Chain A
Amino acid sequence: MSIPNDLRYTPDHEWARLEDDGTVTVGITHHAQDALGDVVYVELPEVGAALEAGAQFGVVESVKTVSDLFAPCAGEVVAVNAHLEDAPETINAEPYGAGWLLKLKPDDAGALAALMDADAYRAHCEAEAH
């Protein structure tokens, strides 16, 4: 299972990356896409939407289930991945790359420090498996 060291993670299996321009890119983890199976539909917020930390901002649907998406930190949506509208399966193929969901301008970039690092997330996944 792929868990890159340079990302932060939420208990809901999302990842967040602080970019050089100060925005935060958000996606779902390899573990999450694997558990979902074939992703067929993604519902994302409008650019400009203000999200509270932990707020539900959308859903990702696979053939077998639907799963809510939660904001890893508070901020304003500055971009959504329009490519997913026609190719939602990109989330399965490249969950940490082309399958990103949205970019936030965080209210406080320091809030990412409260999320899990790779080791903590790996332990979280292992704990969930038991």
Chain B
Amino acid sequence: MSLRRTPLYDRHAAAGARFVEFGGWEMPVHYGDGIQAEHDAVRQRVGLFDVSHMGEIEIRGSGAVAAVDRLIANDLQAAEDGQAVYTPLCTPAGGIVDDLLVYRLAADHVFICCNASNREKDFAWIRDHLEGATAVDRGEDFAMLALQGRHAPAVLQPLTDLDLSALGRFRAVHAAVAGVPALVSRTGYTGEDGFELYVPADRAGAVWDALFAADPALRPIGLGARDTLRLEMKMCLYGQDIDETTTPLEAGLGWATKLAAGDFIGRDALLAQKAAGIPRRLVAFRLDGKAIARHGYPVVDAEGQPIGQVTSGTRSPTLGVPIGLAYVPTGQHAVGAPIRIQVRNRVESGVVVKPPFVRPGA
């Protein structure tokens, strides 16, 4: 199967992008100066990501909000129009089909952003389980740009009549950006202030170019830094930290799982797991040495026996030390608890830490 390309592919190539396969897409991993420089640009200033590989699903109908609310773990009924809600989408057994950003645009209009690799699966799942509304896969229609970093408002404001100072975190509104109709969302996957812009795919280039024209120092940022930025915030990556074999309670997504706010698919299983005791927890850790614990490396006990697994790991570009996420047995997940990880032929020691690893905007 050939890889998909976003409408901005040629611009990435011209900017010196190195491409990798991700979720069936050929995406920039970095633009030649490396992940560290791009990571620092976002933490210290601002950067622009092409995340057009992300999927979009639009749901309309008089009962759209109530219909979606029965599918997702978070509480869309409690949200206001114009609010974005992060949520797991669960199987009846409580596993995670995907993690989503769900926009309540109006009582009869919901817009969902999902992971690229799950787009077809999610759309089929939602279509098959949705009652009282109609779902449309809009993934081909939209490009998505993420402008992230403390200077993001200053870069974006001259391109829109929308008063960005009035747009709060996790709020979204339709507005023109550089003359192009967009859904402007104050969200992101970096922990920094910033915006995600959903624009018509065939006009993405105009918005991309206008942002670079508005700030000649703006840097394009690849998926490599997107991963290190999200990991420093302990934001989950689907397929790596969470999947259909993990529950939101195990993954530390209880804050996005409203068990007391009405029924949803998977709720009974999650209530049962909570009552029986959550067997394992996704923890944030840092290691004492320099070796990096990567996805799939075993967490071991004092005798060297496997008791868990690393799901994500890198060297934190901000802190300069190895960090990661791992599932460990409940009881060994407290902040300050020691953790041992088998890295090739050695056991590296570290400690469970309180997330996020980095305080953004600091």
Contact = CB atoms under 8 A, between A and B. Distances in A.
B292 A40 contact: yes
Interface string A25-38: 00000000000011
A57 to B, nearest CB: 12
Contacts of B53: none
Interface residues of B, number: 16
B34 interface: yes
Which of under 10, 10 to 19, 20 to 34, or 35 or more describes the interface residues of A?
A: 10 to 19
B35 A41 contact: no
Nearest to B225: A63
A61 B324 CA distance: 15
Contacts of A63: 34-36, 224, 228, 314-315, 317
Given A63-B315, A63-B317, A92 B34 contact: yes
A111 interface: no
A38 B291 contact: no
Contact of A43 (B30, B291, B314): B291
Given A37-B35, A38-B35, A92-B34, A64 B291 contact: no
B227 to A, nearest CB: 8
B317 A41 contact: no
Interface string B258-295: 00000000000000000000000000000000111010
B315 A64 contact: no
Nearest to A37: B34
A79 interface: no
A66 B30 contact: no
A3 interface: no
A64 B312 CA distance: 11
Nearest to B223: A64
A59 interface: yes
B35 A61 contact: no
A89 to B, nearest CB: 9
A27 to B, nearest CB: 19
Given A37-B34, A38-B35, A40-B315, A61 B292 contact: yes
Interface in B316-357: 317, 344
Contacts of B315: 40-41, 61, 63
B29 interface: yes
Contacts of A64: 29, 35, 224, 227, 314
B36 A38 contact: yes
Contacts of A43: 291, 344
A103 to B, nearest CB: 22
A29 to B, nearest CB: 16
Contacts of B292: 40-41, 61, 66
Contacts of A37: 29-30, 34-35, 224
Interface string A57-86: 001011110100000000000000000000
A40 B36 CA distance: 10
A92 B344 CA distance: 24
B347 to A, nearest CB: 14
B36 A41 contact: no
13 contacts: A37-B30, A38-B35, A38-B36, A40-B290, A41-B291, A41-B315, A63-B34, A63-B35, A63-B314, A64-B35, A64-B224, A64-B314, A66-B292
Given A63-B228, A63-B314, 10 more contacts: A37-B224, A38-B34, A38-B35, A40-B290, A41-B290, A41-B291, A43-B291, A61-B292, A63-B34, A64-B314
Nearest first, the 4 A-B pairs at minimum CB distance are: A38-B34, A40-B315, A63-B35, A41-B290
